[in-house]
Structure 1
């Protein structure tokens, strides 16, 4: 694991290359040709992220259709019901749970093996969590949403993560964008993570998207969840002014609450807003990092990442944001020398 101060990392998704999308949709393209196109796209993402200087990477989820639809395709007990609109004005194929959920195969195996073989950096594997899979589905089989969530945690997420660890995964990020959207269900969310990672020997990271209550419902649960790190959104509600005061770093105030509740693990702080094309300056990134380090009182606990996956930004914008993020982290290191 990285010992560097303020290690930099991605969250997961990047916009797919236009050549990939156009090529695989052409009629008559063989499976072998599609595999080569996807491999080339994965290599391109891996090399670009390495060259930009990220310390921990993956492949931009270039092989995945979408973070929900991709795993659901391979989990027994789901039937697709049709397309619905998602938060970013895109659509995903929503499914119905019509029977007991069951892990059939490691649907990330080939993807992970390819990244592991071709990457020169540390790897963090993103997987969609049990809570989000349940929340984004129609439950027509289990007696309650909680029953479905725990079944997914035990019967799908745990065997999936265990298998990835057997293949050599050392860092696994459980993506839970739906978690904080239901503050009253945070106890269920806590149990879903703990059941998902029971008996697993790997670094577990939880990524939770921003909600209207600014992670206030998550904070009390954090010390009780078996995760070493949380990657969270801060930049999208922060000011763009330089400085490390409370007034300039309004988006990072909830860090104080994490400390009050006794969380002593790592925080991957979102320093890049994934909803806008504006590029954060390295100096702004630096100040956001320094404020977080000062607030938590332990700079070694700070990791640096975008707020979320960058798939809604153009590849040029995404890579420029990452470039600035890496430079900002270096400026923060220099400041603390």
Structure 2
């Protein structure tokens, strides 16, 4: 983008209660459920654009959940039951009982609708192979690595290729499990590279902390075929204003990325998705300015929440995004004076 510090969401937003009432009601027709999902998608797109985000999606309003949604459409999986993930949320975990296979572009209708209705740039979130494997019971493949590679080659890559054929220019591969097992970072690296092999679009990788402050990820970043990483920083940072190392302790690892030779973009998380407290635009401004200096190039900094905002109420999520957009504006002014 031509301006510094473009703003974007990571993906998920909490679904409106009225939508859930409609889609869960067995007496509502399929046609009316489709209409309700379209209305909810339009509402999210318009709200995100009105807030001022430069890159948008629909809040993943049609998706059940980032793991369960793709697994529903992949051969070789059988659901085993619900398990707890984080923030007291649950997901329907599956067993891999047969050879993995791609059925269809399960985001086709979703993306087509967004493409027709969004006025801003669009980034399509896709759950990555490593996370799909890590969050599943492997009862078929010889090793976890074999399962990861099968998912990368036979599911994620054809899905991404189909989305690009549809016109997707930015694909975000969501990998919240990426750094949970530091000893498996080479598997993760190769899974991304296999997933995007031959793909002609901008590739973004989203990964959460998982306890090791990205130190395991940093050495792999230059070898992964991704132009941008959207990462989580705010929930490790202080709430104090300032652009020094003491106040911006959550962003120190940016210097490590530079040391390892990563030359791409970083989408810095500037809002904590685990709390309702709203960051001030001034705090977000300082986080952006510090990150810009730490990475050494303001043109490489994008601005986003730490992760998807689905665990927050819609009102809190939108207030956080408004503060984020305002903070980015303030940061642009600050570095130009």
Under a length normalisation based on structure 1, what TM-score does the superposition of the two structures give?
0.99
CA RMSD of aligned residues (A): 0.5
Structure 2 match to 1:320: 319
Q: How far has the Cα of 1:27 moved from its partner?
A: 2.6
Once the two structures are superposed, residues 251-286 of structure 1 have per-residue CA deviations (whole angstroms, 9 ceiling, x without a partner) of: 000001101000000000000000000000000000
Q: Quote the residue 1:28 is aligned against.
A: 27
The secondary structure found in structure 2 opposite 1:309 is: coil
Q: Please tell me whether residue 112 in structure 1 is matched to residue 104 in structure 2.
A: no
Runs of 4 or more, structure 1, over 3 Å off, are none
Indicate the larger mover: 19-28 or 245-254.
Answer: 19-28
1:275 aligns with 2:274: yes
Partner of 1:74: 73
Measured in 1, the distance between the counterparts of 2:67 and 2:2 equals 33
Is structure 2 residue 97 aligned with structure 1 residue 61? no
Deviation at residue 327 of structure 1 after TM alignment: 0.1
Mapping of 1:73-152 within 5 angstroms?
Answer: 73-152=72-151
Q: CA deviation at 1:90?
A: 1.4
Structure 2: gaps of 5 or more residues? none
2:156 aligned partner: 157
The superposition leaves residues 119-154 of structure 1 with CA deviations (integer Å, 9 ceiling, x where unpaired) of 000000000000000000000110000000000000
Q: CA deviation at 1:91?
A: 1.2
Q: What whole-Å deviation, never above 9, does each CA across 1:88-108 have from its counterpart, x for those lacking one? A: 211111101011111110000
2:181 alignment partner in structure 1: 182
Partner SS state of residue 308, structure 2:
coil
Gaps spanning 5+ residues in structure 1: where?
Answer: none
SS at match of 2:179: helix
- In 2, the alpha carbon distance for the partners of 1:135 and 1:241 equals 36
Q: Tell me the alpha carbon deviations over residues 9-47 of structure 1, each in whole angstroms, 9 at most, x when there is no partner.
A: 000000000000011212311110000000000000000
Residue aligned with 1:88, SS: coil
| Partner residue, 1:295 | 294
CA distance in 1, matches of 2:78, 2:287: 44
The equivalent of 1:284 in structure 2 is 283
Distance, in Å, in 2 between the alignment partners of 1:262 and 1:292 is 16
Write the mapping of 1:233-244 to structure 2, written as runs, cut at 5 A: 233-244=232-243
Moved more, 89-98 or 309-318: 89-98
Q: Note the C-alpha offset of 1:237.
A: 0.6
Q: How many residues align?
A: 336
Question: Which residue is 1:307 aligned to?
Answer: 306
Distance 2:94 2:212 in 1: 28
SS at match of 1:180: coil
Deviation sequence 1:63-112 (CA, Å, 0-9, x none): 00000000000001101111111112111111010111111100000000
